[in-house]
Amino acid sequence: MSTAVLSDRAGVLAWTGPPKRPPRPAAKAVAGFAPRLVGPACIVASCASLQTASALATTVFAAFGPVATGALRFLPGAQVLLAIVRPRFRGRSPGSWLTIATAGAAMVATNFLVYEAIARIPLGTAMTLVFLGPLALALLAARRRLDVAWAFAALVGVVMLTGEPAGTSPTGVAFALAAAGAVAITTLITRRVADRTHGHEGLALSIAVAALLTLPVGLPAALGSPELGDLGLVAAVGVLGIALPYALEFDALRRVGVKTYSILLSLDPAVAGLAGLVLLGQHLSPFELLGIALVMGASVGAVASRPAG
């Protein structure tokens, strides 16, 4: 399916037939309110899909290890995205391909750091620390005194997440903080990719590059696995963790504003904590939950208080 078809989905789904009678004001309100929920629902579903994939990934770490699991997930994710986006391969400049390849390499580095983190510390804690990457970009772009308060709240939240010695792996925290930096770098690189490509072609091609870069690690792990069920889980991780979230967020961005989109993405750490509890039985202390809430609050505050334009 091409990006042009994806962008026209709302128009295709709309029913244009004339009503038999003029709708009542209450009916108009309901009819106008319901479509507004689609965009936010897509974002929440994207967060749930992504964190479910992360939780599932930890269940096959014993079979493949974090590095090979991260490598294996890129191949099915790339295949699905390439089938949906159908990017153009010919006619791109060497500079464009270099930017795409750099973005793919950055995605690989981020992926490995995240998976090494969630192999050592609870999913909710890890993803909250990783979330500091985009939050830092938002705060660094600001020049207001109020943003100092949001930065301080995020810092307090991090201290609360990492300050308890019991059950907290310093190595896992280090991997998560490194992943936060990698996310920030990847975000800046992918913005350049977006400027050099059309629609989501650059994203699909970057993930395809990531799949090629990780093939030397993933292929031996796949061939050496005696369990087809483990390979099936990794394939599910690729679809749920790469293809489906991007597709949902792509649709959501066409329905909600950038500010609403950013605020709703702040739910990601909470969704990660819930996924860790439900799927992995990981319990967070009230102290850690408060730390997650502070980081989320800082993100919402930084985005919501940003002046328009």
Taking residues 13-38, what's their average pLDDT?
Answer: 45
Residues counted in the chain: 309
The structure's pTM equals 0.75
- Closest to 103 in 3D by CA, of 213, 189, 192, 211: 189
Residue showing tokens 């280090």: 174
Distant-in-sequence, close-in-space partners of 265: CB < 8 Å, separation ≥ 6: 43, 47, 134
Q: What are phi and psi of 190, to 5 degrees?
A: -65, -25
Residue showing tokens 């809430």: 293
Residue 9 reports pLDDT greater than 80: no
Residue 84: pLDDT band (50, 70, 90) is confident
DSSP symbol at 97: H
- d(C-alpha 296, C-alpha 179), whole Å: 18
Structure confidence at residue 224 (pLDDT):
78
- d(C-alpha 108, C-alpha 71), whole Å: 8
Residue 199 reports pLDDT greater than 80: no
- d(C-alpha 255, C-alpha 23), whole Å: 24
CB atoms within 10 A of CB 287: 11
> Residues of the chain with pLDDT > 90: what percent?
13
Residue 257 reports pLDDT greater than 70: no
DSSP symbol at 284: P
Residue 35: pLDDT band (50, 70, 90) is low
Structure confidence at residue 179 (pLDDT):
93
Distance of alpha carbon 8 from the chain centroid: 24
Q: Which of 85-94, 233-242, 246-255, 288-297 has the lowest mean pLDDT?
A: 246-255
Where are the extended beta strands (E) located within the chain? none
Taking residues 153-169, what's their average pLDDT?
Answer: 72
Structure confidence at residue 30 (pLDDT):
42
Distant-in-sequence, close-in-space partners of 252: CB < 8 Å, separation ≥ 6: 39, 40, 42, 43, 46, 261
Structure confidence at residue 182 (pLDDT):
92
Residue 270 reports pLDDT greater than 50: yes
pLDDT tens across 130-156, in order?
888 877 877 776 667 777 777 788 778
